Structure 1
Amino acid sequence: MAAEFDIETLKFDDAGLIPAIAQQHDTGEVLMMAWMNRESLKATLTTKQVTYWSRSRQELWRKGATSGHMQTLKSLRIDCDRDCILMLIDQIGAACHTMRRHCFYTDVTNGNEVELISPMEP
């Protein structure tokens, strides 16, 4: 059953933000988590180029605008509580600002941290 999407049905936090998880659409690889506000979500849905809200810079941040490591939206999913977004995307290059494919490169097992992947070559 299809219904028109209403952004106002989402549960944004007190700062007007909602967590957004980016997952590679064809491999299932979880790439990163960032924040969106209403404006960045609307821009993402309109352009299909993923746009986040930068809490540190207090501005919209289109992923890959300066690095070329673009994220193209393939599908957007909303969790059962409507307070988190999962975006199935096509990632070009590194998703992480550390130049790694994804942000989840540190494993903690038995009290030890292990770096799972190295930064990508520029």
Structure 2
Amino acid sequence: MPDSTVPATSLDPAVATRLKRNSDGLFPAIAQQYDTGEVLMLGWMDDEALHRTLTTGRCTYFSRSRQEYWVKGDTSGHVQHVKSVALDCDGDTVLVKVDQVGAACHTGDRTCFDAHALPLG
């Protein structure tokens, strides 16, 4: 789907028109622990996933491999309770501040960024 196309969804049109999507109609969503600032994970959303996230208080993502929606924690119990959602200045990324219950990463780590720090210098 071209970036200029706004898909049919229940998402507020004022929000939908600000979003810049990739060719698959998706945009990245960064999950951050609301009280510590810890970056937990990156997932993908489309307009419907964002709408569900905003209206249910639980993070909903779109699985690129399975081509379906998934709510964080429905199978693992590691739920993300949404505290706030912000759109970046370019409209191409959302920041979802959450209260993470359990591990955020599918590997069982607290965050998806714990295990593989890259060397500097």
When the two chains are superposed, the root-mean-square deviation of aligned CA atoms in Å is 1.4
Is the alpha carbon distance of 1:107 and 1:68 closer, same or farther for their aligned partners in structure 2, counting shifts above 3 Å? same
Compare CA radii of gyration and give the structure with the larger one.
1
Aligned twin of 2:108? 99
Which segments of 5 or more consecutive residues in structure 2 lack a partner in the other structure? 1-12
Match of 2:29 among 11, 20, 44: 20
Give the gaps of 5 or more residues in structure 1. Answer: 112-122
Q: Deviations over 1:87-108 (max 9, x none)?
A: 1101000000000000002111
Question: Are 1:108 and 2:118 counterparts?
Answer: yes
Q: Distance in 2 between matches of 1:57 and 1:34?
A: 13
- 1:99 is aligned with what amino acid? G
* Aligned counterparts of 2:107 and 2:118: Cα–Cα separation in 1: 19
TM-score (norm 2): 0.85
**Aligned partners of 1:45 and 1:77: how far apart in 2?**
11
TM-score by length of 1: 0.84
Q: What is the CA deviation profile of residues 64-121 of structure 1, one whole-angstrom value per residue up to 9, with x for unaligned ones?
A: 001110001100111110100111101000000000000002111158xxxxxxxxxx
Misfit runs of 4+, over 4 Å = none
Which residue does the alignment assign to 2:94? 85
- As a proportion of its length, which structure holds more strand? 1
Describe the SS at the equivalent of 2:32. strand
